[in-house]
Structure 1
Amino acid sequence: MRMILIAGLVVAAGAAQAKQDLKDVPSVWNGLLNIGIANEIRETCPSISARMVRAALRLNSIQNEAEGMGYSQAEIDAFRTSEANKAAMRAEGEAYMKNNGVVKGDAETYCALGRAEIAKSSQIGRLLRAN
C-alpha cells in the first residue's frame, strides 16, 4: 500500500511539473494579445477609447484562469514580464494590425480597425468604445 501511495505522489509531482508554458495556453496568450491590440488602437486613434473596466475584468479573468490551471503568482509574473514574450506578442499584434490595414503613423487606419472590431463585437472590439 505504501508503494502505491509513493508511486501516486511521484506521478502527481511529474504531472505538476509538466504544465505547459503559459504562452502555449491559447486563452491566456490570445486574451493578452487582444488587450494589447485594443490598447494600441485606443492610444493611436483619437475617436476611440478603452472600456477600462472590461479590460481590467478580462485581465483578472486571465489571471484567475492561469491560477486555476495551477500556475503560481511568480510563474504568472515571470510570463507577463518576460522580454521574449513581450517581443513575440508585439510582433504578433503588429502583424495582425498590418494584415487588417493598419499603417504605422496613420491614425485613421487604427480607427478603421477599431471601428471594424467594435462592429463585429470581437474580443478586441468589446474592449473599445467609439467616442
Structure 2
Amino acid sequence: MPYLSAVLFSVTLLLGLPAGAASAKPPLRDVPEIADGIFTIVVANEIRRKCDDISGRLLKGIAQIRRLKARANDLGYSDGEIRALLDSKAEKARMIDRGRAYMAKAGLDYDTPGDLCRLGRLEIKNNSAIGALLRAK
C-alpha cells in the first residue's frame, strides 16, 4: 500500500504528537483496540485515495484518530509511544501485510486493478468500521 507512509505521517500530524519516554507496558501495537483502529483508518484512507467512486468521511476519521490517541493516553501510553508506533518502519510493513491478508480473506488482491475499490464498496455495504469512514459517490 504505497500511501501508507503518507497516511501514518498524516495521522501523526493530526495527533500533534511530541516525543516521549517509553515504559514497561506491552507494546502499543499489541493493544488490539489501538492497532485495529489505526488499521481501519489506514485502509479507509487507501480506498479513498485510490477509488474515484468512493470518498472519505474525513471529519469522522479525524474524530476517530483523536479518540484513539485519548484512549492510548488513558491506557498509560505517552504521546511519544504513540508516535513511535506510527513512525516505525516495521509497523508499516506489518500494516501492509495485514492489509493484504485482509483483502485475501475477502477473495481480493491489492495488486489486482479494481479490487481495492471492490473492498471499499463491500465495506460500505456491510457498514463495517472501515465502511463507516467511506461514502460511495
Q: Same fold (TM over 0.5)?
A: yes
Distance 2:41 2:34 in 1: 11
Distance 1:75 1:122 in 2: 28
Gaps of 5+ in 1: 1-16
Structure 2 equivalent of residue 95 of structure 1? 101
Provide Cα deviations, 1:14-51, integer angstroms capped at 9, x if missing partner: xxx54111011001010111111111111221100110
Secondary structure of the 1:95 match is helix
Residues 49, 130 of structure 1: 8 Å contact kept: yes
Secondary structure of the 2:55 match is strand
Change (3 A) 1:43 1:98: farther
Q: Which TM-score applies when normalising by structure 1?
A: 0.81
Pick from 35, 38, 58 the counterpart of residue 41 of structure 2. Answer: 35
Structure 2 equivalent of residue 123 of structure 1? 129
Equivalences for 1:16-35 in 2 at 5 Å? 17-35=23-41
Distance 2:96 2:37 in 1: 13
Which consecutive aligned stretches of 4+ in structure 1 deviate over 3 angstroms post-superposition?
A: none
Residues 101, 113 of structure 1: 8 Å contact kept: no
State yes or no: 1:60 paired with 2:66: yes
State yes or no: 1:106 paired with 2:113: yes
Q: Which TM-score applies when normalising by structure 2?
A: 0.78
Rg larger for: 1
Name the one with the larger helix percent: 1
Pairs aligned (count):
115
Secondary structure of the 2:96 match is helix
Structure 1 equivalent of residue 78 of structure 2? 72
Distance 1:43 1:102 in 2: 18
Q: Once the 2 structures are TM-superposed, how far is the Cα of residue 80 of structure 1 from its aligned partner?
A: 1.2
Q: What is the RMSD of the two structures over their aligned residues, measured on CA atoms?
A: 1.6
Structure 2 equivalent of residue 45 of structure 1? 51
Provide Cα deviations, 1:96-129, integer angstroms capped at 9, x if missing partner: 123223331412x222211111111100000000
Gaps of 5+ in 2: 1-22
